Structure 1
Amino acid sequence: MGAGWAGIACAVEAVRRGARVTLFEAGRQAGGRARAVDGPGMVLDNGQHILIGAYTATLELMRGVGADPDALLLRQPLSLRFADGGGIALPRGPAMAALLAGMLRARGWTWRDKAALLRTAAGWRLRGFRCDGHLTVAALCRGLPPRVREELIDPLCVSALNTPSEQAGAEVFLRVLRDALFSVPGGSDLLLPRADLGALLPEPALRWLRAHRCELRLGCRVQTLQSTPDGWMVDGEAFERVVIACPPGEAARLADAAAPAWSRQARQLRFEPIATVYAQAAQGLPRPMLALRSGGDETPAQFVFDRGRLGGPSGLLAFVASAWHGEREQLESGVVRQAREQLGLALQPLSTIVEKRATFACTPGLVRPPLDLAPKLLACGDYIDGPYPATLEGAVLSGLDAARKATQPF
């Protein structure tokens, strides 16, 4: 139940394993919190999602349903450059060599800054990218110079975990760094969507599922879930096994009677929003993506994307403010100020989209709900217990895990 990225991954994998699948989705459109939406005279995304080269499961799933990552995603080495030339960018090449070269070439950094980061990164690697599970990212990086924290650690943390470094869990942050840098060649590369999010996975996956005789029920919100001796009744209809692939609140509602302890755990999760301000400028950016100097209400956005360089209309920019809790008008005025002061651009805001529960707050010591709820009843989603924060890869991996378990003999 649910056709977000986790539910889609689960349905595709279950069909591949020979199961007869019925996919319920409350909305008329698949994709969940990573989908295309109608904007003012154009199709927009409900948020800017960056994939990275280490998202091997997501990339494989895309290929499997007929979506070509090479055509749909712009691959570039990790870059956290600011418009004034500051920040860090990694060249292509082996992970450690690229990281070393990026640190040495970081503009505006002193040798003390570079040496401190190199020393700290070497220590993380020697310890296997592990740390005390109760540390925050800010505490983990307290010994680093302010410029390194502001231009590298804080942007990486908020982009990967959507949680400010003062609150984010260091253990998960280090795991993301480890897998991005050392899991596969090019794992830290940024993969920027050159099409709307629907074209990346939801739309081709639905076509694939239809072609493989999966029953799709879009616009159908499940109301009741009841246990039977042979399986489960979904709104009075019998199914042998059920996977709940809904957001935590909806999943908890459905599971209240069957798994009350699981539902309580799901309801205890806290969430962080992501806001995207789409705006028109007379010209685009020098690169498809730039970091922004952010902090507080006056400078709310951490990144800006040039949608004109990524297949969209010329001059269309998307400003992303992760973990934004302020008012919409305050956000838009702050973005206009950032564009003027940091980019030298005058903006006309077009549309602001706020996903209020975009991700769970990835805090130290967080205990997430498990995959299993009850016999023949499973759950999947980016919030389910797993190694990663709330990312597209985390959602896909959870969906694949649920499908594999659901299709095993009981």
Structure 2
Amino acid sequence: MKMAIVGAGWAGMAAAVEAAGRGMDVTVFEATRTLGGRARALGTEKPDGTPITLDNGQHILIGAYSDTLALMQRVGLDLAQVLMALPLALPYPDGTGLQTPAWATRWPAPLDALGAIATARGWTWGERLALIRSSLGWQMAGFRCEPRATVETLCENLPERVVQELIEPLCVSALNLPSSDASAQVFLNVMRDALFGRGAAGFSASCLLLPRTDLTRLFPAAAAQWLQQHHGNTSRIRTGARITGLLNHAGRWRLTGEGVDEAFDRVVWATPASVAAQTLLAHADDNETLASWALSAHALHFTAITTVYAWAPGARLSAPMLALRAEPDAHASPAQFVFDRGQLNPEDAGVLAFVVSASTGERDELQARVLQQGQRQLGMALQPFITVVEKRATFACTPALERPGALIAPGLYAAGDYVQGPYPATLEAAVRSGVAAARLASE
């Protein structure tokens, strides 16, 4: 059976590995020259002219990302080499915040996370107990809530400090929306797996996994190499091949584009939602099923993520990742987290990555505010050298959102972090959708 996969991001490459493993003849078409989609490597230079490979956005994984970790191991990656595992922690530059004590790291979930909450620095016992009670209440309710509830309403009885120092940063980083707009149900899905779920690949579910290498090498490139080594006769990846045409004929799908004109038994469309909607709408004609799916994808709204890479020679933060405080003037403190890239990869020494989830505003003005925030909260001089704005980084994960399904039409499937599923727009959501699409297509 011949399968085409349009898009070589994390969803597309996950689909390719799963499909090849199921004995399908796989061709991956990628419009660009770099694998990874919206989580890919980015070549640039330090201010001193030294070449450096960064990413188009800073990402983290967690130990609950079972499908992603399993697939990374399947394609031969040594997780200990490519990921830095840290116990659940959201420390601030002044040392306060949530940090899992060493004695709690040996406890199974959810005891390790409860240990971190019980010892959160700077919190009163009342604040700690309030969060523990809420967490256990969520568990007793089966991590279910009213579909139209927001995270803000879900957490309205929690103390202000807990909301500002934990809930809001977690919400905006996981769902890329402020708590007032974000889906409480999807937030609970993440909390269920991260705090009370089972970890994967030997990691605790709640531990943070920070990439030690660029995002293309972290999975997509390794998947491509695995396909070549294990299924070289029946799998191929064509970069610089943009698919612009799609036609169903006699039960098969013909793809056309830049140097492409070929029919396939199955097609997995693994591009961003906007690209999928635009292409499918243009070729829906009288196919109501195709048009209906494309319109549902077109109806999604998106939010931006900005990553400001700054240069501070000799800089070393107290932890590889720190949370940044929301200041009284919220406009003056746009970044929620800062990463010390040098602690993850020695070649990146002196590079700090500031992440602004749900970002708004112009690039230069936002960069200036982030640098000023960093200088105030970290107490160091910072020099910018590249700022990456992904304007459509994630779909807006609002309450009761109707997301497109995995089946577009007979023989045509969708894969991407926006496809129906329990998670927001994360790497795990992308990988799960790719694996699921390949399984559906092989049935």
TM-score, structure 2 as length reference: 0.90
Identity of aligned residues (%): 53
Look up the match of 1:289: 321
C-alpha contact 1:277 1:349 (8 A) present in aligned 2: yes
Select which of 207, 213, 222 maps to 2:243: 222
Report deviation, 1:159.
Answer: 1.4
Structure-1 separation of matches of 2:136 and 2:411: 45
Do the aligned partners of 1:158 and 1:165 also contact (CA within 8 Å) in 2?
Answer: yes
Q: Secondary structure at the match of 1:287?
A: coil
1:359 aligned to 2:369?
no
- Taking the aligned partners of 1:98 and 1:240, their CA distance within structure 2 comes to 48
Structure 2 stretches lacking a partner, 5+ long: 1-5, 46-50
Q: Which amino acid aligns with 1:12?
A: V
Determine if contact 2:88/2:113 at 8 Å carries over to the other structure: no
CA distance in 2 between counterparts of 1:207 and 1:114 reads 47
Which of the residues 265, 271, 275 maps onto 2:302? Answer: 271
Note if 1:196 corresponds to 2:217: no
Give the residue type in structure 2 aligned to 1:217: R
Distance 2:440 2:117 in 1: 43
Report the counterpart of residue 146 of structure 1 in structure 2. Answer: 160
Give the AA of the match of 2:244: Q
Counterparts of 2:130 and 2:197, CA distance in 1:
24
Q: Is the 8 A contact 2:84 2:211 kept in 1?
A: yes
Aligned to 1:162: 176
Q: State the one-letter code of the partner of 2:184.
A: A
Which residue in the other structure is 2:48 paired with? Answer: none
Counterpart for residue 68 of structure 1: 78
Change (3 A) 1:97 1:183: closer
The answer to whether the aligner puts 1:44 opposite 2:54 as a matched pair is yes
**2:398 counterpart letter in structure 1:** T
Please state whether the residue corresponding to 2:244 is helix, strand or coil: coil
Q: Aligned AA for 1:327? A: E
- Could you say which residue in structure 2 is the equivalent of 1:406? 441
Instruction: Give the match's secondary structure for 1:176.
Output: helix
Partner of 1:128: 142
Q: Deviations over 1:240-280 (max 9, x none)?
A: 11110111111112322140011110011011111000011
Contact kept in structure 1, 2:113 and 2:206, CA below 8 Å: no
Summarize the alignment of residues 299-314 of structure 1 with structure 2, pairs less than 5 Å apart.
299-311=333-345, 312-314=347-349
Q: How does 1:5-404 map to 2 (within 5 A)?
A: 5-40=10-45, 41-91=51-101, 92=105, 93-185=107-199, 186-211=204-229, 212-213=231-232, 214-235=235-256, 236-256=261-281, 257=284, 258=287, 259-282=290-313, 283-294=315-326, 296-311=330-345, 312-404=347-439
Tell me how far 1:286 sits from its aligned partner.
Answer: 1.3
**Does the Cα contact within 8 Å between 1:231 and 1:376 map onto a contact in 2?**
yes
Secondary structure of the residue aligned to 1:318 is: strand
| Contact 1:297 1:326 survives alignment (8 Å) | no
**2:304 touches 2:390 (CA, 8 Å); kept in 1?**
yes
AA partner of residue 194 (structure 1): R
Give the whole-Å Cα distance in 1 for the aligned partners of 2:112 and 2:225: 40
1:317-362 Cα shifts (integer Å, max 9, x gaps): 0000001011112222212222221111110011000111111011
| 1:52 partner amino acid | I
**d(CA) in 1 for partners of 2:131, 2:40:** 37
The DSSP-based 3-state class of the residue aligned with 1:108 is: coil
Q: Distance in 2 between matches of 1:404 and 1:62?
A: 18
CA contact (8 A) 1:297 1:331 kept: no
Asked if structure 1 preserves the Cα contact closer than 8 Å seen for 2:41 and 2:53, the reply is yes
Q: Which amino acid aligns with 1:60?
A: A
**More moved, 386-395 vs 312-321:** 312-321
User: For the residues of structure 1 that align with 2:278 and 2:236, how far apart are their CA atoms?
Assistant: 24
**Alpha-carbon offset, residue 106 of structure 1:** 1.1
Aligned length: 408
Greater alpha carbon shift after TM alignment, 356-365 vs 232-241 = 232-241
Shift of 1:176: 0.6
Calculate the TM-score normalised by the size of structure 1. Answer: 0.97
